Structure formats: structure tokens, C-alpha cells
Structure 1
Amino acid sequence: MAYIRFSAPIQQYGDSLRRQNQLIDEWIAQNPEYELDNLTYQDLGLSAFNGINALRGALSDFLDAIEHGFIKKGTVLLVESLDRLSREKIGDSTERLRHILKAGVEVVTLSDRMHYNEESLDDPYVLIKAILIAQRANEESEIKSKRMRSVWQKKREDAEKNGKLLTRSCPRWLKATEDGGGFEVLPQHAKTIKYIFKLRLKGHSLNGITKILNDKKTQTLTGNSGVWNPSTIEKILGNKAVTGTYCPSYRTMSKGVKNIDNYYPRIISYKIFQDVQEIRLTPFGRDKTYDNPYLINLFRSILRCSSCGCSIIMTGIDNKGMGYYVCPMRRLHRCSTPPIRRDFTDQVLVGVLLANMDFLQDSFSGKNAIKQLEHYLVDVHIKINHLLDALQIAPDVMELSNRVRLLSKELRDGELRLRTLKSRGGNTTGEMVASMELDNKINREKCRNYALSNIEQIIIDTAMQKCDIHLMNGLRILNFPLRKIIHHDNFISSLAFIDNNTLIF
């Protein structure tokens, strides 16, 4: 069984991959008593400096396979050298090798033809050699890391003092000049961005701007037409690069690295940019008023469109609670699902689903849901830590910092959901919710909190007027009708037909 690794993706076009494969073939030819397994573990373009390959790479899969007994004792792992397995500090690196050998898996290093097995752990000479190799590999990686950080620091200084480019990478409304000495503006994209800022200053909402651009078939910054969305508009409006400012990743900024002014060509003035930022402080450019209690959405963030997956929103809400649930992508011409009456939908979901929630919880324990969410949050923590390790080596790679921001938001949302799930029950019951007068803010907020505590999501088919309900405890209720109110006794009777965590209407 072989393991191949190199640190930089560009090395796949060089000699590293060919050399490692050649060494494997030569060893197999010289040792015909061994047969090479069809499965070769490869970490192509993944560093071993901080043990990343052992945490989320192919080496991680190999270690898991050993842990679960899928790899038999006596199996030989072929590697070019020990530093392919790890470039961590000596203690971590030798412990990695010790773990593999103690499991009965042997390791052959092809560069020096050393053969390690469990008995090698008692051989001082072998251990000293392994420690020296680990020390050399870690020192080499540390030196490379320092050099890389130093190079980026020098590039930032040159960019700030002399206007030299950090990289040819730039926002999509610009492109690097042929000689790499600067950036030039793409006129059509710059015109679009100026138009977006102009619309925002006129009071148009993010959705409104999106609709205008899609109706006019305006090309996006990637060259497509009719696929603008509010998220993209918001990112453009908040991107300081339009004023010519280069912003390093937030992790780099936390180390004291500052923005670089006048790095890019400016297409939006500082004043216009700041005026728009003031508008961005309030959603859609104006304050929301909640004098009308019916503006409190009982199923906010729970209802999702069955067609496109977007969160369902309310529209046309009056002082009597009339209005509609609608997919926000409909107004952007990116979803064709029709609106559905909000008042009657709430009546069914509250009067049937929430009213009987206690019975649903009693018949199906929610402990698994808490454990699953806790495991999920641990995984998110690990992913964030891996990305932060990667950011130490490449602090200016925006994709990494953007991914950290997204995962951090997932983590915050998940932790809030976990607290809500653990506090489920409290003093509120489904029967109490069903009997509430929902024409005041306090009761509507209690009802909404109860729904959030018990329901993960409701995927609603507005055309067929039915929905699929996913509860926090893992129970699924499919094809739940929204056209009629099911009598309490009939609903309770249907619980007898729960099969494989699923109730189908």
C-alpha cells in the first residue's frame, strides 16, 4: 500500500509525483513477494507542516482505516521518506509513526530503504534516526513558512510605498496589465457598479436593485445575464476595493497589518461609499416598524421553498393578519412557485402541528437531535481550525478567509440552535400555543420561539398546498396538507403509522 504527498498543487506538473511513483514501482519490482494494493492514498497539494494531512487528508483516511481494523497487520506502507507522513514538531511526528507501527502496519521509506516495524520501536538507533529526520523536516518547513511570510511582508511594503502589485489577483471589475505593473478598469463592469451605488442611494432595496438588473439583462461580473442576487449586490456595496483600497484577510489584519489605500484604481468616491454604508446599517435603507404584531413571522427561517430552497418570506401583511407567504426568488424571476395565503397556512400549522407537538415529542425522543447537533458543531470547529492553520501559511488567500467567515456564521447559528433545543419545553406547551390569541406581540413571539424550539425546517410546496416537516428530534412528516385542519383525534391516530422516523400523509 502506497502513500504519496506533495505540498503545492503546482508540484503535480513537476517531478515530485513522477519520482514518488517511480520509487514505488522500483521497490515492488525488487520485492516480488509483495503485491501493491490497488488503493493508493494521495494528498496532492496538502502540507504536512501542521499535521493537516493527518486531520483531513488521505493520511487521515488511512489512519481511520487502521483504527477500525480495515488494514490488516503486516501490511507495508510505502512512502518516499518519513517527512511525507509528517513535518510536525518532533513529538507529534514520531508519535504519528509510533501509532502506525503499534497497529502492526510496517513502513518502508523508499529514499533510504529503511524498513520500520513494531520491533523498531525498541531499537534506539532507528528511533534516533527517525527523530533526526522529523527534526530536519520540521525545521525545513518552519524556514519555508518564515520565508513565505517574509516575502508577503515585503510585497505589502512595496505595494504601500511603491505601488507594486502583491499578486495579479484583483476584483472582477479590474484586470492586471500585460506587464503586471498595475490594474486597468473594465469599463462595462465599472459602469454596472456605479449604477448599483446610484440605485442604492436613490433608496432601492437589495431585492429591488437585483430585479432591475435582471430585468435589464445586465451582465454580472462573471459575464452571465439575469442571475443577479441580493447577496452579490450587498457584497459589492460593502467592498472597499471600489474606492481603491486593498483589504487583507481578517486574520492578517488581526496581526496589525493595515489596509493599503490607492492600491486599485478608484471607481467610487469615498463620500458615495460612506453614504451607502450608512444606508446599509438599516435593512433596505429604512427602519422597520413592528407596531403591527402580524409582522412577526411565526415561522421565520423555518419555512423553505420546495422548488429552490430559499427561505420563504411574508408579503402584503395588513393590520388584520392577511397576506401571503412567497419565495423571494419569485420577484427576481428565478422561481415560479405561487404565493400561498399566510393566515390560513398559520392556522393549520399552529392549530394542528404546534397544538400536537407535545404528542410528537413524547412519541419520539429528541436526545439524538441534540447529540447530532453537538457532533456537527465539533466538526465545524475542526474545519475552522484547519482553515486557520492554512491561513497562517497563506494569509492573503481570500477564499480561505471567506470560508472561515461562513463557517463561523454556521457555528454561531448552530450554537444558538443548540441552546434553543436544550431549553425546549420550558413553561410553554403545544396546547398553550394553540389556545393563544395571536393578535399581540408577546403571544406571537412565544409561539415563534416554540416553533423554533421544535421544528428544524418546513419545506413548503405552495402550488400543491402541502409541506414536508422536519422536527428537531429527527421525525419527518411528509405531504402534510395545508388546505384543511386535521382533527386532533385523527392526527393522534396517525402517529401509529410512524415508520423509520417518518410519518406520511
Structure 2
Amino acid sequence: MTQVFSYRRFSAKHQQHGDSIRRQTDLAVDYCTKNNLTLSELNFEDCGLSAFTGSHRAADTGLSQFIQACESGTIPRNSMLLVESLDRISREQVSVALQHFLYLVNDLGITVVTLMDNKVYTTKPDLTDLVVSLAIMERSNNESVTKSKRLSEIHAKKRANPLTSVKSKTCPWWLRVSPTDNTKFEVIEEKAEIVRLMFQLSIDGVGINRIIQHLESKDIKPPRTEKWGISTVGSILKSKRVLGEYQPHHYVDGKRVPIGEPVQNYYIPIVSENDYHLAQSRRTQRTLRTVGGELVNTAGGRTGDSFPNLFTKIARCSECGEAMHFTDKTRWQYLTCRNRIKQLCTNKPIPYKHMDSFLIEVYLSPQYLAQWSEYAAASTKQVTAGDSLEILESRLQSAQQSLESLMTATANFTNSVILKQMQTRSESIANLEQEIEEKKQQQSESGTDVYFDFETNKQLVANALQQTLFPLMQSFKTEPEKLTKDEVYRERVKLNRQLSKTFPDFQMLYNTDGLFITTNDSIYEFKDKQWIEVETPS
């Protein structure tokens, strides 16, 4: 008995919401009914894949899987393949399309039936049918070439006159084309606010998973899917479309690659450039921290629902240099050297309750009072003196990625246009590197960075600790604000950032001699239930 299979395909992903698959399925079922055939439950389809570029013939596609099944003998010779028309199999150049068509029919012994005209192609095709098939392939390819050329011309015109061209409805989900002027966009404000919230949370030090939790707790729905995904939020936080930037693309060997320089102010900016670059810097800082003068990858480490460890990615073991791991498996909480857990270090677990008192007795001590005042004053100067260091570094990273993308996308390094773009981007990188170096020199002289003043730090500690050790906080006459669980989390994240800047090198040791913390060239010992600074020989 002849086995009958169907192959269905459409090119554009948006067609999955249309009638294409249903129409092709109905044609196959009707043909089998009329010819007393049984359609196999094993059918093949390619959704959103082009027969013009040949992407539907990749190794993991439906058509390729059908061919592999024929080659392996899983699908026997003389089986039948039902397609709506020959252009479902290929829209490539006739010489290429004919080669693949004849391979199916002659080499694999498959009978191909086109359902639109009920043509049957076998290993011994009728000469007239073969000529007709060639004509269909030629027409299909010409249609695709014409469509591709027309779209290329439209995109070329759009790239040449980006600010005055008719805007596409395919735009960021927080924008729409103006109903009164199709050369302009307008902001969907309630959606733009969602994007701004994401950036603010990221600036506050909140990671992507926690951002998703926050959005879900507020019943904020994603634009196109049922649930927020890590890739969705991550791509929004990286996308320069929020700054109004449009990067033209085209396809090279079936791959979408950038072409030309990004167009500024094509979209309506909904996030300030300062907030964008600050968010990029915060995301980098969550995985890279300066430890002992060196950048260390501190990615990983769970912060939980309440961010219980204020010293995450800060505290390290004095014995071996490993990170101190927060444990909360018993009645008490501890900071334990990761190598101690592996029995590779002798540093004893440190009761975490002593770290809260360290915040009040050392972090908020008179020793740092003058420091806070200097930092706050320097921060004000920094805001008025131009872009901060982390914004410049984020711009440098973007410029380097832009040059790398250009070099990856082309092999023609003799083209004058390509060479000019490479020169422009290289000069931009050199200028940014010089500006960053100058900014670093300024900061080394003035100690500038964005710090809170002393009063703000007191309130931040009170909010982060809430009622923990509150009697100690009463000496500062600072009470914690009434905050939600989510707000407390954000305060603790903010305090963690401040601690990482105040204590760039923070080492802990607990042995028979006592409990010690070494930071900022000072040694503190926990003695008689309080932290005291140990005098060291000068």
C-alpha cells in the first residue's frame, strides 16, 4: 500500500496566525479522500522558512527530515508526497530547484503531487509535465526575485531618508505609527513606563530574574507572550531602540547582519542616555567586581527573595582568597569560605549577625563621616563635569562591539565605504579610550564616584536592616521607613552596591585568635561583643 505524506510550508512567521497551514492541510485531506488514499499521521512542515533563500533545506527542517527519512529507508520508495504547489518545495533558481526536485523523484523514488493543479510527477515524468514544472519554477523564482528587489529598494530608501520615510508598523512594542502622520511614531506611554521601570530596577542593582518577579507581582503583562522571559527582558535592557536608535540590517547568506551606521532619533527615545548606560554598567558590575585591585568574575550566587547577604560578592576569605558563601540551613546564619565547604580551608564559619553590627559600628562610624561628605561633594561635581566613568566605559564597549560586528559581517576590506566606516569607528574607540583615561586620572585625584552622603547612608542602613539591631540604630536617631518586602529588597541591593564601593578589598578571618576583618588598610576585631579597630605598627 502506498504511503502518503504531506509537506506544508510558509515563509513569514506572521502567517502562522493566518490560513496557510489550514488551507494546505485541507487540500491534502481532500485529495486522499477523492483517491481512496490514507494520509500518514507523520507529516512534515516548515513554518516561517523561505524557499527562496533555501533556509527550508537546513539539516533540522521539515523538508530535510523527510529527505533523510527517504535516504535511510524509513520512508520507502514509491511513497507519495503531497504539496500545494512546486513553489512549496523550492523558489530558488531553476537550475537549483530542478536538481532538488529530480533528486526527490528520480533518486529517492518519491511521487510528488501538486494539489493546486493535480499534477503527478514520477520517475518517468511526461515531457509536457516536466516543461510545465520548469515554467512553474521559473515563475516562482522570478516572483521571489521581484519581491526581494522591491523590498530591498524600500529598505534602501528607508536607510537613505530614515527620518522622513514612511514608518513600518514593525516597530518596538512601546511605539506605534501615528494615525495622522505615517512618517512619525508616537509613544504608548503605559508601555513605555514598563520599559523605564525595568531600567530603573536594573540601575538599582536588581537582576533580570528579580525584575521578572517584580513585573509579575504587579500583574504587568508582556507585550506578545504569556509570561516574561529572561531573554525578553535582557534584550530590552540591551536594546538601543529605547534611545531612539535604528540599526538597518540586510541578509548575507541567509544571516541577518547590520548594514551602515545606526540612525539616531529614528524612534522616539523613552529612556535617557544616562540611564541606559548606567543600566549597562550596573549589569556588568553584578558579574565583575574589583578585588585587591583586580577585576574578578563574581557571577552567580543566589540572592534569594530578601537579599539576605549584604556582603555578597564583597567578602572574601583571608586564608585562601575565596568568596565567603552565605548559609542559612540552621537556626543561625553564617558566612563560610567556599573552600572550607570543600574541606580545603581552615577559616571557620562566621556568624552573620556580627555583620549587621559591623555596618552600624564601622560603616557608619566617625571614621567614614568625613569620607561620606567628601564623596557626596565629589559626586555633585562629577554630575556637572560631564559623563561619569561608567557611562564612558559602556559607550566604549558599544563602540567596540559595533566595529567587531562590521568586521564580522564583511570580508571585503578593500571596499572604500567599508574602510571609511571602520576608520570612523576606530577613531571613536580611540577618543573614548583617551577620555576614559583622563576621567580615571581626575577620579584618582578627587576620589569622585557616585556616593550617598552620611545622612542618606544612615537611612539606607536603617531601611535595609529594618528592626534588626534597631537599638544600635537609635543612637543615630534614624528609624526605618515602612516599606514593602520588595522595597526592602531594593534598599538592601542599593546598600550592597555602596558597600562594594566603600570596601573594595574586604577579607575575613575567624580562627583561634579571634574574628577579624581587614579592609581599607585597617584591621577590625570583634571583641567584647563589638567591633574595634586594631592598632597596627606604623
- Normalising by structure 1, we get a TM-score of 0.49
Structure with max Cα Rg:
2
